[in-house]
Structures are given as C-alpha cells and as structure tokens.
Amino acid sequence: MSNITLSVSALLLDMDGTLVCSTCDVEKVWRLWCQHHQLAPEPVLAMCHGMRSREVIRALAPQLDVEWEAARLDELEMLHTGGEAIAGCDELLRRLPPQRWAIVTSASDRVARHRLNCAGLPLPAVLVGAEDVIKGKPDPEPYLLAAAWLGVAPADCLVFEDAPAGIESALRAGSTVVQVGGNRRLDPAVAAVIQDWRQVKVGDGAGGALQVTLLT
C-alpha cells in the first residue's frame, strides 16, 4: 500500500455512495417510481446514480411534469432512507473545521439532511443540494458553487465522488478528484481510488492548508 499526500484548502464531498451506503435505497425509490409510471427501470437505474432526479426525468420521461415528479421522488426518498455511514467518515468529518468542507449532492436539501441524520453523520455548514443549482451534475455548477460558498478556489479543493456524473462535474470545475469505491478508475483523470474513509488521513499543512494523505 502506497501513500499519496495532497495539500488543499477544502474538501468537497458527494453524499450517496460516498458518505452514506444508500445505493439500495436510491434504486428502490426509482423502481417504485418506474412501477407507478409503467416504465422499464433499467434505463433509469443506469442513469440515476449521482444525478438530480430532474435531469433523469427530462432525459427519460420528458412527457411528465418534471417539478411534480421531482417532488414525488423526494417524498419517496424521505420514506425509504436507512443507509449506514461508509466506514471511517464519521470520525473524519467530526475532526474537520466546519469552514473547510462541504457536501455537494444531487439530493434535495431536505433529503440530504434526513439521510445524514439517519446515518448518524454531522451536518455540514455548507450543503449544495438539488435546488441550489440550475444545472446538476455532470455540469460543474454544483462544485463551483460549493467552492464559492466556502470562499476557496475550485482548483484548491479535493473532491470525493463515487459516480461518473459527479466525477465529471468535479473535474470540469477544475478540482482534484478521489474516487470512492470500485476496482478501476471511472475516469483516467481521477487521482486515486479508495474503498472507504479509513484510507484518508487529514492533518494541518503549511500556510493553514489541509494535508490529506490517501492510503492507496
């Protein structure tokens, strides 16, 4: 096992599949939604991870009222949330200064906070959710906005992501990306792949920066 050490200003973190084991919950919600509309679930499940429900609906069911259906999916997600925290993230998050990290999620603010509470994770001072942006992942807007709210440059941020849409979003924003989960890089530009947060150590770096060591 080798180490990679990076000096950054802030950490920007995806939530589903990155901090919380919620893949099964997310897929269950989309299957229920597809069943209600008599839609084949396979195309939806292939697209939905890491993306806002609005983008998925526009792409695969444009005949439906996007905002109405997004609200319906929100309610389903509130009912079907029970994921556990990914190993090691609780301890790490509680040690980070609040102004040095943010969550950037395709879930709504309400669903994100509910899911974090259910997983026993601390709530961030900065949370960019589905309703905070005009364009969701893979557009860079969510990560650009999170960096701006923290008052740091996107290029000085380290992003942790698990899904192709989120990785693309962060890379297009100009940030360095660490992939959480998987046996191969989903994008060749990913700096490292980790399986859980026990492989991440954060300390004080020079000039007030965060020194992040990845045990890869």
Predicted TM-score of the model (pTM): 0.94
Residue 205's pLDDT is what? 86
94 and 196 share one domain:
yes
- Same domain? For 16 and 29 the reply is no
Per the annotation, the verdict on 14 as an active-site residue is yes
Q: Is 196 a catalytic residue?
A: no
**What are the φ and ψ backbone dihedral angles of 6, each rounded to 5 degrees?**
-130, 145
Distance CA 138, CA 106 (A): 10
Strand 3-8 and strand 10-13: the pairing is unpaired
CA distances from 137 to 2, 14, 39, 140 (A): 31, 11, 23, 7
In the prediction, which pLDDT does 63 show? 96
Cα separation of 77 and 17, whole Å?
15
Active-site option among 16, 25, 139, 162: 16
SS3 99: helix
Domain range enclosing 45: 23-79
Q: Phi first, then psi: what are they for 192, rounded to 5°?
A: -165, 160
Q: If you average pLDDT over residues 181-209, what whole number do you get? A: 94
Domain CATH code at residue 110: 3.40.50.1000
Give me the catalytic one of 14, 74, 139, 162: 14
User: Are 39 and 97 in a shared domain?
Assistant: no
Same domain membership, residue 198 and residue 123: yes
Considering the domain architecture, whether residues 168 and 147 belong to the same structural domain is answered as: yes
**What would the two tokens of residue 156 be?**
């000085």
How much is the pLDDT for 216?
A: 85
Domains held by the chain: number: 2
